[in-house]
Structures are given as structure tokens and as C-alpha cells.
Amino acid sequence: MRKVPFGSLAASIAALGTVLGLFALQLRADGLEQYVDSVASASVVMYVTSALIVVTWVRARRPHSD
């Protein structure tokens, strides 16, 4: 069975979180405050998702004790 590409998935989702964070800063600079909270929240969700993928990656590499 093929291994899941945890590293590239975590990196791409973290990159998406970074882009969303920068987009939130740009929205704030443009005066579109009503959208900043939503975009910033989506950015945080991407970072948390990326961290959970890394945790899953670490746990998948450990030998199973079954």
C-alpha cells in the first residue's frame, strides 16, 4: 500500500494558511474590516489542520503494538 504524502499535504495547507493570513492583512489595509475576521479565522483553521496532519504523520510512523 502506498504511503500518504503527509509532508506535502501539511506544507500545502500551511502555505494556504499563510496566504489567507496575508489576504486578511490586505483586506484590513483596504478598509474591508467586515471580511477580516472570517479570512483570519480560515487562516487559523488551516494552521490547526496542518498541525493535526503533522501529529497524524508522527503517529503513523510509530510501530503499531497490535
Q: What is the CA radius of gyration of the chain?
A: 16
- pLDDT class for 14, splitting at 50, 70, 90? very high
What percent of the chain is modeled with pLDDT above 90?
71
Q: What is the pLDDT of residue 24?
A: 96
Distance CA 2, CA 17 (A): 27
Q: Is the pLDDT of residue 65 over 90?
A: no
In this prediction, residues 43-59 reach a mean pLDDT of 93
27: cell is 483586506
pTM strictly above 0.85: no
